[in-house]
Amino acid sequence: MRILKMDSKYLKEFLESLRMFGKLYGPIWKRDVLTHDHVENVDDLVLDGEHTLIPVKKLFHPKRFNTMRFNEEGFTPNYSMFEKRVLIGAHPCDIHSLLRLDEVFLTDPADPYYKGLRENTAIIGFSCLPTENSLCRSTGTDIVESGFDLFFVDLEDIYLVWVGSSLGHDMILEKEEFFDENVTHADIQKYIQWREMRNDMFKKSFNFRDMPDIMELSYNSEIWDYFAEKCLSCGSCTMVCPTCNCYTLTDVFDVTNKTEGRRERVWDSCMFVDYSLVAGPHNFRGKRADRLKLWYTHKLKAFGGEYGRPACIGCGRCVDTCPVDINVLTIAEAFTSCEVPAK
The continuous run of DSSP H or E covering 70 comes out as strand 64-71
User: Does 272 fall in a domain?
Assistant: yes
270: in domain? yes
* Contact yes or no for 287/225 (Cβ under 8 A): no
Asked if residue 45 and residue 126 are part of one domain, the reply reads: yes
Task: Establish if 147 belongs to a structural domain.
Answer: yes
* Residues 154, 260 share a domain: no
Is the domain of 181 the same as that of 83?
A: yes
Angle at 294 between CA 291 and CA 297, to 5 degrees: 145
d(C-alpha 340, C-alpha 343), whole Å: 9
Claim to verify: residue 247 and residue 192 sit in the same structural domain: no
The domain in which residue 127 lies consists of 2-200
User: What is the spatial order of strands in the sheet that 247-253 belongs to?
Assistant: 74-77, 64-71, 261-267, 247-253
Task: Report how far residue 91's alpha carbon sits from residue 152's, in angstroms, rounded to the nearest whole number.
Answer: 10
Q: Is residue 276 located within the same domain as residue 221?
A: yes
> Mean pLDDT per segment of 10 residues, for the chain of length 343 residues?
95 98 97 95 92 96 97 94 97 97 96 98 97 95 96 96 98 97 96 97 94 93 95 96 96 87 96 91 91 94 91 96 96 84 67
Domain for residue 342, yes or no?
no
What pLDDT, on a 0 to 100 scale, did the predictor assign at position 37? Answer: 97
3-state secondary structure 230-269: HCCCCCHHHHHCCCCCCEEEEEEECCCCCCCEEEEEEECC
Interatomic CA distance for residues 87 and 59, integer angstroms: 9
pLDDT of residue 255: 84
- Which of 166, 200, 234 is the C-terminal boundary of a domain? 200
Could you please report the per-residue DSSP string of 103-169? HHHSSSSPPHHHHHHHHTEEEEEE-----TT--HHHHT-SS-SSS-SEEEEE-SSEEEEEE-SHHHH
192 and 219 co-located in one domain: no
Residues 275 and 194 in one domain: no
Q: What is the pLDDT of residue 257?
A: 81
Element (H, E) at 205: none
Q: What is the DSSP letter of 338?
A: S
Last residue of a domain, one of 200, 221, 256: 200
The pTM of the full predicted model, rounded to 2 decimals, is 0.95
CA gap 275, 288 in Å, rounded: 11
In a shared domain, residues 216 and 249: yes
